Amino acid sequence: MHIIQRLFRTRDGQPTPTVWTRRRVSGVIVAATVTVLGVPSLATAVQPTDGKETTYYISLGDSLATGYQPGWEGESDVAYPDQLFKKLKQREPGLQHLRLGCTGETTDSLVNGGKCDYPNAKSQLDAALKAMAEHRGKISYVTLNIGANDINQCVEATGALDELCLGTTTQSIAKNLAQMTSALRQAGAEGTRYAGATYYNPFLASWLLGEMGQQVAKDSASLIGAGNKIISQGYAAAGFKVANVDGAFSSDDFGNLVDAPGHGKVPANVATICQLTWQCSKRDPHPNAEGHRVIAGAFEAVLPASSTPQPPTDDAGPEPSGSHAPSELAATAGSKSSQGTGPEKLTEEGLADTGSSSSTLLFAGIGLVAVTAGVATSVAVRRRSGTR
């Protein structure tokens, strides 16, 4: 593998952050601005800063952070970090976005590597820490979503969750999450704002399969809820705000019934999964554009405006806060009406066409494409490892 360094410039001719990329195709080095098939990309959104001081937003995570969409040969522009970035940039005009997400990432691979290759870094976490060191004192926001692919390892052939496996897996999630969040906090500055997300429950779509599926949906609620509690506590212990995505998706609302075209009345949480993900229409649990908008809203709701970041002291980073009250652990993304996911909006706008649900729900995706368009530039700088 060869490495090339490219210094990009914005339309006004101002230099932008240095970006590294590598890939060999038939012995030829591919320039960073071309489409790279089969390579999920770390992307740097390079935009004019309007003369403002340049600061950075770093997004980490799995296929939710890359914006994976079924049937789409490349990274879509609907990913929640991209939508969140647009909102954060309104607050902070000089903000730039460093995208580190990796489709198929687990908590273990995010820390230790193995899913995606990052030049000069062993893992996604290592890449983030090196970016934070390079732009010391200029990191305004850090967001993270991780853990879904760990839970997928506990999916049985029937599509149900293995409770014993999930118990062991959540312990591993807690250990890895503590390691990554602590490292990110210590690498940040006093003004850096951190947030991590819980997960919605795609297993709720099993409700549409009849009596047995409805029991699977009900059982999954408590198991996913337990996993989200572990994730929330891990984030809060490190001083991260918690973006309550499961709440924004009405994950526990079995009580309110909604008319679902083709299925009659179903619980609001089932209807929400059908509206905000591809699970009911394409048997794929990833969020659609509207789902990513809701996730971005959950993050925005808990991220206060960043103060001017300052470099951390040399001996220690910010002290992690472990004193969050239970209400803080379950900070919501707003009311159902403001998020547009309540029963009334679902009934008015209708649901996506539904089909038979997949027996196994997987978040791990395929290789993605780096795309450059307009002023915002996406640059391929990592390569998918393995075959999963």
pTM for the full predicted model: 0.70
pLDDT in tens, 164-205: 998 899 899 999 999 999 999 999 999 999 999 999 999 999
Residue 297: predicted pLDDT:
98
Q: Which of 101-105, 118-122, 351-355 has the lowest mean pLDDT?
A: 351-355
**Which residue type occupies 105?**
E
Dist. CA 106–CA 361, nearest whole Å: 15
Residue 263: per-residue pLDDT: 79
Reference 367, options 345, 351, 381, 387; nearest CA is 387
CB 217 within 8 A of CB 253: no
Buried b (16+ CB within 10 A) or exposed e, 79-97: bbbbbbbeebbeebebbbb
Residue 381: is its pLDDT beyond 90? no
Pairing between β-strand 264-267 and β-strand 257-260 as defined by DSSP bridges: antiparallel
Amino acid symbol at 266: V
Residue 117 pairs in a beta bridge with 383
Each residue's pLDDT tens digit, 76-116? 789 999 999 999 999 999 999 999 999 999 999 999 999 99
Q: Picking from 96-100, 295-299, 359-363, 383-387, which range would have the lowest pLDDT averaged per residue?
A: 359-363
Fold type of domain 4-384 = Rossmann fold (3.40.50)
**Angle subtended at Cα 329 by Cα 92 and Cα 284, rounded to the nearest 5 degrees:** 80
Whether the CB-CB separation of 326 and 266 falls below 8 Å is answered with no
What average pLDDT does the segment 231-259 reach?
97
pLDDT value, residue 225: 93
Give me the residue spans of the domains in the chain. 4-384
Query: pLDDT, tens digit, for every residue of 25-45?
Result: 222 222 222 222 223 344 454
